[in-house]
Amino acid sequence: MKNVFSVVILFFTVISFAQDEKAKRIDSLFTAMNVNNEFNGVVLFAEEGKIIHKKAYGKADFSKDIALTTASVFDLASVSKQFTAMGIVLLHDERKLAYKDPISKYIPELAFYPEITIENLLTHTSGLTDYMELMDASWDHSKIATNKDVIKTLATQKPELLFKTNSQYEYSNTGYLLLASIIEKASGMSYGDFLKKNIFDPLKMTSTAVNRPRFAPKDIPNLTKGHVNGVDGSPVPIDSYGTDQVAYFLDGIVGDGMVNSTVDDLFKWDRALYTDQLVSKRDIEKIFTPHTLSNGTLTNYGFGWQLKDHPTYGRVTGHSGAWAGYLTYIERHVSNDKVFIFLQNTSLMTTGNPVLNSRKLLYNEPIEIISFIPKQYSIEELKSYTGVYKNEYIGMDITIEIDDNNTLTGQATGQGAFPLESFEDHKFKFDPAGISIVFSEDKNSFKIKQGGSITLFKKSK
């Protein structure tokens, strides 16, 4: 019997040592990134329900030199969508709505979109136009818009759908805005109050709330400020740029964002999703099931979560967010019960989320180090890299083209083109923004590194 206990003690000692070494590697990565202005935020890594690393790196408010803590509160941006989706699932369980209901049942002003259902909104298959572009072009920027204002604008302008409903997947903030309004209509409560009563309070997420800091500010302890590049490149609060920006005049919108939280509360959320504490196991399965398009193709999105079956890491669910000087990310490795969470309050040219390297650290794999040796490519060689590249987790494309100077360029959706210097082994760089791109041998994908993060994009056309 003593030998058995000795083996058990040795087993747990080995596990503890391995986790300590893993935590040290994680800390080394984020410490280096913080020193290089590549990461400013709070991280949490956990395995099998146990936190192996949780730490704050950097400032909550640069102008006042206030340090972040692990209790710091961040705007989750699009990571909020998973809570909106859960709200819909809860109302479905109460039979206050059905996934196949047309949205016009709850928002009659949009009856001219008869084919769009609640499920289409949940899965980004509605074909609705982007409300941010619509409001940027037509809304008085000195006023703060709400969901009702966006719905009124849609009803007045009646923009055509981008594609036939359910024929394609295209990430849509508009859809999740409308879902929040449907929650309010079906529940008779405000979006924030409904989430608090039905999600945050039951899970004891005591630092989590819906917050519109410019439209209806709340007194939230440990709330951080979102920062962007100032004129000299240093971090400044986004509000220093005044009211003529989307972070100001769209601050009244909820559903696609505006949930504020901490890494500890998001860890509680992660744990709850392995249980039936909020909804049944059948509902959880529905949330994490890829949606099927009308042609039978599966998307990589369920209800508020991006989905992937990874050959090494198993079932992976996650979501990113970017808004008003915040960058956020949560990724759950469901097959292996691992999770990592990044909450940042800077969105600088050098900032990034080190997703690929974080995965590698969790599985004791070597992280990627990219070296560069200059090389000139022929025009024909450069043409082989051109195309539109996508990432299933990010609602943004990157187009690779050749400009008039026979230089390869990259251009992200809604942004300007940037020239790429060429190097050996299919590598390219744009140093002013700290961007590196490494193409695969077959030119059908590339990894882009910026600010310590490495993200995979695949060619779509």
d(CA 270, CA 259): 16
CA torsion angle for 33, 35, 39, 40 (degrees, to 10)? Answer: 150
Dihedral pair phi/psi, residue 436, rounded to 5°: -125, 140
Q: DSSP strand E in 366-420: where?
A: 387-391, 394-402, 408-412, 418-419
Read off the DSSP letter of residue 200.
I
Catalytic positions, written as ranges: 78
Q: Which helix (H) or strand (E) holds 12?
A: helix 2-35
Given its phi and psi angles, is residue 9 left (phi above 0), alpha (psi -120 to 50 degrees) or beta? alpha
Read off the DSSP letter of residue 427.
E
- Do 326 and 80 meet the contact criterion of CB atoms below 8 Å apart? no
Max Cα-Cα span within the chain = 78
d(CA 53, CA 47): 10
Read off the DSSP letter of residue 84.
H
Cβ-in-10-Å burial (0-12, 13-18, 19+) of 104 comes to: middle
Q: Which two tokens stand for residue 27?
A: 């800390």
d(CA 304, CA 288): 9
